[in-house]
Structure 1
């Protein structure tokens, strides 16, 4: 078994195992969907069983005193959870995934996974305004990353399996496999490639199949028949796009500015979350928890415009405050809630003043969900594909494209509010901006450009051992001392020296029993070497070369950097040639 895994790692590092990657994508999808189902069932059964609610989102049925105290009790549980872990382990959510992908090659710590899992459950069952999709993205990313690390995959494959977990998480949450793939590529990885798409697609399909096996094939929301009545609706669609862009900008602005001014003490921040959510739950119970029951009511046109307006503004305010104060919950669900209610307001007003022109309230609510999500995440393709899969109606794409684009432009260009999660990272002095070259380098293993035709010789080597090494026609000779590689030299330089008897006599040392040569004294294009493991990618190799001030790295298998474990070498010029000529 160990040898099979070793062979698999080497094949993956060489980019020669697409079928194996496909199977790993399926495994990542199964693992992620299992965790997401456990997360979801823990929330639903806790609410319907422990609290005795008729439905796991029927917070309105609770006693007013219970509604007010429940979020505060949740805050106390979160404080107890946070006290048990380090400050680093408290970093959760999509922002954390982006940061780990950018700065840590996608390695997700196990401790943060536990905090996200239990913290997300506490937020949801205590009635705090939250979403389950943000935590699901973190859980899926961590599942894929940790699986890769346990198998000792390369860092580029760790990032790929992380994307598989994210796609499966979104797919399992909404029953939207295509949207899961696009979300992983557009929001998390921020790039596309053929090799990465295959396993990510399979992971997303697996997540959807597991969810359908448990919950059935129905989408996450009760979507009525929706259609555009007339081109005369265009003014309503433009107004809706402007409104959604403005609301998204407000959501991001409140969240970011709350995070800027939040107290340093996590205890005070979590207590504030408990009090704010408790007070609002007493007044407007519809904003408690995830709120998909309210979203369904908005889609079916069962709420008056004034209720939709109040729900949208209250949800926007409390959720943005929660996220800014550091709640370990999600934002995607609340974005959909706000979009559905605000879009429903447009629909209600349109039907009031132009009933022959405007579409149904549910039609505008559905468009609002896509527009709000897209404007907050700056992810139009994800929003449009989610809308298509939820409605199973391609006719809705034309008006949706108009509303989504206007919302994105309004938020980003008029109000100057960029995507939410990168903005939150910027507050910590971090960035997810990546150049296309750096992105390409991170997606390729060092073994993909390595020179593997090498032989190892001792620093003080006998003439016979050198001739034996050259007999295999290597490209490079690696020079070892005390079992470690210290330099490399082109084999041609050494071979030319051996062919010149007169020159060779100048370098032969005969003070030992047999003639020998100091390989570090020979003339030639010799380069000092540092070491790197086969799991590294090309960007890591360049960073290591810059740090160690060398132009060559030996690539090692396993956990040791000895001459026995060397698999090849990678050079600075070879990496530059790779991205100059292979990816033009």
Structure 2
């Protein structure tokens, strides 16, 4: 009996040791991929956006070129299969037999990069999530002992990837928990903590700066009713984004000739970018512009019209980018919409009601609130945005707005782009 117990104990120790080693490898590879993709995307997006700003002809050329290259890559390199985004991760974790094939790593990485740098109005976050989830999935398939840890190792890759993109280990773990796993096991805690620790260590070693540099020092209790208002509006806007994505994907799915999708998508995207250059790519350049602008933005008719136009068009061009073959998701669009919504609400309140609220606070809270409602993951949104700005001053207002926006969105429409299942 003692001998049997000792054998079992040794076996458990070997399993634990292997789990720790594979979690370190997954954490490093996922973080390295996430950081590399982020850096390359930022570098080339800035170059191409500058070229398009100088010569508007490129607003027409870039989208059609980018979507065409993605189409031919899919046709000749990636087994003629379209990328489904995070739904691919769900399909894998919900099935004992279905795994993420290794070609999904270059497929999502390359296609996500090409989509964004050539003006596709989405972000690299979902591409990174699926690529890093695939790293976890491939690692899980290599050893029989890991078969029972399939979801945990996929989540470890995802958590490390999110950490690398947003400099927030807590957001990485919470996203893996809230959106993908939805349960905590001993293996989940071990593998994910190790993976995000490695990812954060790599970020520290590389001295990665926060994506947005904002100066937030305080917030006022008198602004609480306005935070609630922003949360409700964020929930409504997130439903609009979700509905747009689902509607345009269903409409484009009816077009049998894929190149017609590219042409239609490119035309709409080009016209939109020509009118509102802020919609180019991830849109982080536009957020940085309004972040560095004067804290008190005077609301003129032209500015109000621009903000409203951007808020109405962003979900449409994001949806068309994805429906016409682009690779991405709703992460970056949600942050973009939230930032512009927050600034617009603050400007209206200050201009017409003399509330004297702080616009940059509303911008940051808006980013978290729209993301929370779009993916139904409020705690991920809180720590993700706090990590983006490297500032936790607004933690409690963000918490309130994120919970309000999520439940507002769920009351209007219960699904997200991840959970919606089309009726056959």
TM-score, normalised via structure 1 length = 0.65
Aligned equivalents of 1:364, 1:57: Cα separation in 2: 27
Say which one has the larger Rg.
1
Aligned position for 2:4: none
Report which of the two has the higher share of helix. 2
Match of 2:139 among 130, 147, 168: 147
1:287 counterpart = 2:287: no
2:362 maps to 1:361: no
2:67·2:324 contact (CA, 8 Å) conserved in 1? no
Question: Relative to 1, partners in 2 of residues 1:268 and 1:103: Cα closer, same or farther, differing over 3 Å?
Answer: farther
How far did 1:396 drift?
1.3
Shift of 1:218: 2.2
Residues 228 and 400, structure 2, Cα contact 8 Å, conserved in 1: yes
8 Å CA contact 2:104–2:131 kept in 1: the answer is no
In the alignment, the residues of structure 1 paired with residue 287 and residue 360 of structure 2 have an alpha-carbon distance, to the nearest angstrom, of: 10
In the TM superposition, residue 111 of structure 1 has moved relative to its aligned partner by 2.4
* Mapped pair 1:178 → 2:170: yes
> Residues 149 and 224 from structure 1, CA distance in 2 versus in 1: closer, same or farther, beyond 3 angstroms?
same
Q: Is the 8 A contact 1:298 1:361 kept in 2?
A: no
| 1:392 Cα offset (Å) | 4.3
Residue 248 (structure 1) aligns with = 238
Distance 1:323 1:109, change over 3 A: same
Quick check: 1:42 aligned with 2:40? yes
1: CA distance between counterparts of 2:390 and 2:68?
Answer: 42
Q: 1:329: which partner in 2? A: 328
Q: What pairs with 1:343-358 in structure 2 (closer than 5 Å)? A: 343-355=342-354, 357-358=355-356
| DSSP-derived class of the 2:310 partner | helix
Structure 2 SS opposite 1:127: coil
SS in structure 1 of the partner of residue 418 of structure 2: helix
RCO comparison, higher one (Cα < 8 Å, 6+): 2
- Cα deviation, 1:437-485, whole Å, max 9, x if unaligned, reads xxxxxxxxxxxxxxxxxxxxxxxxxxxxxxxxxxxxxxxxxxxxxxxxx
**1:396 and 2:388 equivalent?**
no
Structure 2 Cα separation of the partners of residues 334 and 105 of structure 1: 33
Partner of 2:310: 311
Instruction: Give the match for residue 219 of structure 1.
Output: 210
Q: Bigger CA drift: 266-275 or 286-295?
A: 266-275
- 1:109 paired residue number: 101
Match of 2:5 in 1: none
Contact 1:245 1:371 in 2 (8 A): yes
Displacement after TM superposition at 1:260 (Å): 1.9
Q: Is the 8 A contact 2:239 2:374 kept in 1?
A: yes
The 1:358–1:400 alpha-carbon spacing in structure 2 relative to 1, beyond 3 Å, is farther
CA distance in 2, matches of 1:121, 1:385: 25
Q: What RMSD in Å do the two structures reach over aligned CA positions? A: 2.5
SS in 1 for 2:219: coil
Corresponding residue number in structure 2 for 1:419? 416
CA–CA distance in structure 2, aligned partners of residues 335 and 276 of structure 1: 20
Deviation for aligned residue 1:85: 4.9
Per-residue deviation, 1:327: 2.3
Alpha-carbon distance between aligned partners in 1 of 2:76 and 2:239, rounded to the nearest angstrom: 35
TM-score normalised over the length of structure 2: 0.88
Kindly state the Cα deviation for residue 133 of structure 1 after the two structures are TM-superposed.
Answer: 0.7
Matched, 1:78 2:50: no
**Offset at residue 223 of structure 1 (A):** 2.2
Change (3 A) 1:156 1:167: same
Q: CA deviation at 1:169?
A: 0.6
Figure out how many residues of one structure are paired with residues of the other and give that number.
408
Task: Give the 3-state SS of the residue equivalent to 2:340 in structure 1.
Answer: helix
Match of 1:96 among 88, 93, 101: 88
Q: What is the match of residue 267 of structure 2?
A: 275
* More strand by percentage: 1
Relative to 1, partners in 2 of residues 1:301 and 1:193: Cα closer, same or farther, differing over 3 Å?
A: farther
Alpha-carbon separation, structure 2, partners of 1:122 and 1:387: 25
Aligned CA distance change for structure 1 residues 228 and 383 (closer, same or farther; 3 Å) = same
